[in-house]
Amino acid sequence: MANKSVFASIKGRLLPATETLNKHAAPAYAHSDAHALAQVAMTGTFGAMVYTDPMEELEYVLTLAESVDPTFLTKTAIYTRQKGHMKDMPALLLAVLARLDPILFTTAFGRVVDNGKMLRTFVQIMRSGQTGRKSLGSAPKRMVANWLNEASDWAILNANIGNDPSLADVIKMVHPKPANAAREALFAWIIGKPCDVELLPLNVQEYLRFKETGKGPLPVVPFQMLTQLELTPKHWAKIAKNASWQMTRMNLNTFLRHGVLDMANMRKHVAATLRDPARIKKARVFPYQLMTAYQALSADMPAEIREALHDAMELAVQNVPTFKGSVVVCPDVSGSMHWPATGYRPGATTMTRYVDVAGLVAAAVLRKNPRARVLPFEVKVRETVLEPKDTILTNAQRLADLGGGGTNCSAPLEWLVAKGLSPDLVVFVSDNESWADTLTGRGTAMMKQWNVLKQRNPKAKLVCIDIAPYGTTQAKEQKDVLNIGGFSDTVFDQIAAFAADRLGPSHWVGEIENVEL
């Protein structure tokens, strides 16, 4: 007779078997190549991370890009730029596509290279040789030249900011054929050749006069062109008054240093710019960018500006949905989550950590779902009380301050099971590097606890937001489990669609596949 202890009836669903190991050599689930590419493309930044270095990440991305169908690669490049607002990753995927499928590359180029900085990033990646060639090739050269000829004068001036390569380098590489004498003069001026100054854009002519004499009105050009000139506080005030929303956010400390915020009318103007709903929407504001701006503020920053950033954050996450039923959000506050969100970069390391992003997501959900329960966790759940009416930035900081310890992704689910709770929606925000809850045998501890919870509430759904480019998960993708990568507010749209049964069986990958070419 069969061994009853082995072949006894199983209560609940059989745990899906793990397929791989995470960076801690603990059992984990592997994504499909398509899902893994999407996840790393939405979270990877080529900075030094806790568990991987930039070259390892690059090799991982290139391997995945070669593994998927070129059409999916194309759609991922477009999605990560337009929805994830990523920079280096979509340019890298576009460079790979240039070698694999020139026709799809041409289709995607204009939707990925949407400004001059992206153009220079793409050229830099192509010339590096990391994607298989050091020359641009005919199709990339043609598309870059077309961009240079079709871009507005203002876009060209913005593209002229920065080096490695400079816009002059790019022009010399592709030799664009200007459609008119004015554009020919502008290209000549950029690469340092003689030109007819009267054919240059009017604002460039005004800039050259101001640069030479220091007199007259401040020219309306990208402000980086002015920063090396002798400017008065009034000049800086003019710069601030003409600044875009993103430029204002990024230069608050600069404006403070140059006396702009000592002027009451300018403090009022800058604060009004930061909290302007229309400008926030137009700027495609990344909520974590606001958090970074707030964290970087000088101690001397006026209170009006700090308050305006709080208001801007509330507006930036206003598309966070209200979910039906009971909701639990589980931000990971373990030690590995205290790494910079974009990795360590020489001279450019962000102050915002993964734990800050996790706290931000939890606080944003709590704002729109005031009865939601927040369960921060490391090895165990760190019980805390948050006030739903406090600002998002305040609650996010409270959660981040809890950080430290190992990672146990099953802890919040185990806590819910022990309390007899069975919420309708559970949202995790983690790097998924769980190791403190390793099981022997089949499956992960997180899936074991999820199965128990599902027995109590068969309609419950689990969303795992992965904010690090490591490529594994503790929860197997299935009908009631969504794995999604990234830290843009796009994730809120996907959570809402999943909770309301509006996502197809392919979930997040299916959304990327729906991108029209």
pLDDT given for residue 8 in this prediction: 46
Number of domains in the chain: 1
* 6 pLDDT above the threshold of 70: no
d(CA 100, CA 71): 10
Which residues lie below 8 Å from residue 430, measured CB to CB, with a gap of 6+? 330, 331, 332, 337, 358, 407, 409, 464, 465, 466, 467
Residue 190 lies in a domain: no
3-state secondary structure 169-233: HHHHHHCCCCCCHHHHHHHHHHCCCCCCHHHCCHHHHHHHHHHHHCCCCCCCCCHHHCCCCCCCH
Nearest alpha carbon to residue 352 among 315, 313, 382: 313
* 10 pLDDT above the threshold of 70: no
The values of phi and psi at residue 417, to 5°, are -65, -45
Residue 163 lies in a domain: no
pLDDT tens digits along 479-502: 999 999 987 778 888 999 999 999
Contact 391, 375 (CB under 8 A): no
d(CA 190, CA 160): 8
Comparing 510 with 285, which gets the higher pLDDT? 510
- 436-456 average pLDDT score: 93
Confidence grade of residue 349 (pLDDT, cut at 50, 70, 90): confident
pTM recorded for the entire structure: 0.92
Q: Is residue 475 helix, strand or coil? A: coil
- 369-386 average pLDDT score: 94
* Tokens read off for 214: 């220091």
d(CA 67, CA 149): 35
Q: Is residue 388 helix, strand or coil? A: coil
CB atoms within 10 A of CB 277: 12
Confidence grade of residue 4 (pLDDT, cut at 50, 70, 90): low
Tokens 């990560």 found at = 80
d(CA 363, CA 68): 36
Confidence grade of residue 2 (pLDDT, cut at 50, 70, 90): low
Residue 425 lies in a domain: yes
Residue 301 lies in a domain: no
- 261-268 average pLDDT score: 97
pLDDT tens digits along 26-54: 999 999 999 999 999 999 989 888 889 99
- What string of DSSP letters covers 30-62? EPPHHHHHHHHHHH--SSB-SS--HHHHHHHHH
d(CA 481, CA 477): 5
Handedness of CA 176, 181, 187, 191 (dihedral sign): positive
Tell me which residue range forms the domain holding 338. 316-513
pLDDT given for residue 492 in this prediction: 87
Q: Is residue 149 helix, strand or coil? A: helix
Rg over CA atoms, the chain = 25
pLDDT given for residue 363 in this prediction: 92
CB atoms within 10 A of CB 510: 12
Handedness of CA 149, 150, 152, 155 (dihedral sign): negative
pLDDT given for residue 7 in this prediction: 45
Q: Report the percent of the chain where pLDDT is more than 90.
A: 78
Confidence grade of residue 5 (pLDDT, cut at 50, 70, 90): low
Contact 176, 149 (CB under 8 A): yes
CATH code of the domain covering residue 469: 3.40.50.410
Apex 336 CA angle, 121 and 357, nearest 5: 60
Residue 508 lies in a domain: yes
Residue 137 lies in a domain: no
Which residues lie below 8 Å from residue 506, measured CB to CB, with a gap of 6+? 513
Contact 46, 57 (CB under 8 A): yes
pLDDT given for residue 9 in this prediction: 43
pLDDT given for residue 254 in this prediction: 96
pLDDT given for residue 13 in this prediction: 61
pLDDT given for residue 3 in this prediction: 57
The most distant pair of C-alpha atoms in the chain lies apart, rounded to whole Å, by 100
Residue 375 lies in a domain: yes
Comparing 118 with 442, which gets the higher pLDDT? 118
What order of strands is seen across the sheet that includes strand 20-21?
Answer: 20-21, 27-30, 472-473
Residue 334 lies in a domain: yes
**Amino acid found at 142:** R
Nearest alpha carbon to residue 377 among 414, 343, 340, 323: 414
**Amino acid found at 436:** A
Please enumerate, as own/partner, the contacts of 136-139 that have beta carbons within 8 Å and a separation of 24 or more: 136/173, 136/174, 137/98, 137/99, 139/98, 139/102, 139/105, 139/106
Confidence grade of residue 281 (pLDDT, cut at 50, 70, 90): confident
Q: Is residue 331 helix, strand or coil? A: strand
Please tell me the least confidently modeled range out of 4-8, 166-170, 204-208, 388-392: 4-8
Q: Is 299 exposed, middle or buried (0-12, 13-18, 19+ CB in 10 A)?
A: exposed
Confidence grade of residue 12 (pLDDT, cut at 50, 70, 90): very low
Apex 403 CA angle, 397 and 409, nearest 5: 115
Nearest alpha carbon to residue 510 among 41, 76, 65: 76
